[in-house]
A = this chain, B = another copy of it.
Amino acid sequence: MAETATHIDIPCQRCKVRNRAICAALDDEQIVDLNAISEHITLERERTVFFESDPADYLYNIIDGNVRIHKSLADGRRQITGFLYSGDFLGLSVAGVYPYSAEVITTTTMCRFSRKGMTKIIERYPAFEHNLLQLASHELAAAQEHVLLLGRKTAAERLCSFILNTAEKQIGGISDQRAKLPMTRQDIADYLGLTIETVSRTFTRLKKTGTIRLPEPDTIEIANFQQLEDLALGEAAA
Per-position 1/0 for A81-123, Cβ under 8 A of B = 1000000000011100001100000000000000000000010
Tell me if A153 counts as interface (CB < 8 A to partner B): yes
Q: Is the interface of A mostly helix, strand, loop or mixed?
A: helix
Contact indicator A73/B129 (Cβ below 8 Å): no
A234 partner residues in chain B, CB cutoff 8 A: 73-75, 77
A150 partner residues in chain B, CB cutoff 8 A: 147, 150-151, 193
A77 partner residues in chain B, CB cutoff 8 A: 152, 234
Contact indicator B79/A141 (Cβ below 8 Å): no
Distance in angstroms between the alpha carbons of A71 and B234 in the assembled complex: 13
- Asked if A71 meets B144 with Cβ closer than 8 Å, knowing A150-B150, A150-B193, A152-B78, the reply is yes
Q: How many monomers of this protein are in the complex? A: 2
Q: Determine how close the nearest CB of chain B comes to the CB of A74; give it in whole angstroms.
A: 5
- The chain B residue with its CB closest to the CB of A99 is B141
Contact indicator A93/B148 (Cβ below 8 Å): no
Tell me if A201 counts as interface (CB < 8 A to partner B): no
Distance in angstroms between the alpha carbons of A74 and B92 in the assembled complex: 33
Which of the residues B74, B93, B122, B145 comes within 8 Å of A71, measured between beta carbons? B145
Tell me if A44 counts as interface (CB < 8 A to partner B): no
A71 partner residues in chain B, CB cutoff 8 A: 144-145, 147-148
Distance in angstroms between the alpha carbons of A190 and B92 in the assembled complex: 28
Distance in angstroms between the alpha carbons of A7 and B100 in the assembled complex: 46
Can you sample 22 A-B contacts with CB below 8 Å?
A71-B144, A71-B147, A73-B148, A73-B233, A73-B235, A74-B233, A74-B234, A75-B234, A77-B234, A94-B137, A99-B141, A99-B144, A126-B129, A129-B129, A129-B130, A129-B133, A136-B140, A139-B140, A140-B140, A143-B146, A146-B147, A152-B193
Q: Across the A-B interface, give the 6 residue pairs with the lowest CB-CB distance, nearest first.
A: A151-B193, A143-B143, A150-B150, A136-B136, A73-B234, A99-B141
